[in-house]
A and B are shown apart, each in its own frame.
Chain A
Amino acid sequence: EVQLMESGGDLVKPGQSLRLSCTASGFTFGDYDISWFRQAPGKGLEWIGFITSKTYGERSQYAASVKGRFAFSRDDSKNVAHLQINSLNTEDTAVYYCTRGGRYELFDYWGQGSLVTVSS
């Protein structure tokens, strides 16, 4: 069974950094892109970006709204992808979701989300 699980969400202060993880199981993790979305409280979904598989160079692409502060990485040996968020501000408060696919593979499975709250 394909599963994705986000972790690392926390209450943090403005200006701090945070790293979220997306741990996968039930499939060959290294064969797939991993994408990230977020959803601020009471708002719609926002696409953040993706990281491709090693086959496609582990290339990352970001939405304009997060470029420069967000960074994707992955460790295929541990079946995990990471989202590093720097210089957090209150507008980053959201539930963050990872999904399988996004550039060269289909979007299909989603994680359950991880809540990041930025507040002083």
Chain B
Amino acid sequence: QAVVTQEPSLTVSPGGTVTLTCGSSTGAVTSGHYPYWFQQKPGQAPRTLIYHASNKHSWTPARFSGSLLGGKTALTLSGAQPEDEAEYYCLLFYNDIWVLGGGTKLTVL
């Protein structure tokens, strides 16, 4: 089974910009992996932020954006807010199976 890798933790200053990345053990992440990004705050259910690499749901704050970058998929947060402190998970599709990354704990400090 493929392994999806994320940075275990990142820190960003309030108002700053940070990029979280998500890679695949099988090679470059492409649009064919239909990448998703989920946000989960402590004690809460996850929330879907980004689908198909770069598309936002209606509830996704404008400061979040997704992309395919250098063989990975990336989630960029521009203008971090204290409420963005959370765990972020990447999800990739492989031949009818979804595989999650281990999550990135983002600290806003």
Contacts and interface: CB of A to CB of B under 8 A. Distances in A.
Interface string A79-120: 000000000000000000101001100111111110000000
Interface stretch (A20-28, A41-49, A68-76): A41-49
B96 interface: yes
Contacts, number: 49
A17 B102 CA distance: 28
Given A44-B103, A45-B89, A47-B91, A111 B98 contact: no
A99 B52 CA distance: 16
Interface of A: 35, 37, 44-47, 50, 61, 63-64, 97, 99, 102-103, 106-113
Interface of B: 1, 36, 38, 40, 45-48, 51-52, 57, 87, 89, 91, 96-103
Contacts of A106: 48, 51-52
A44 B89 contact: yes
A45 B100 contact: yes
Contact of B45 (A50, A61, A108, A113): A113
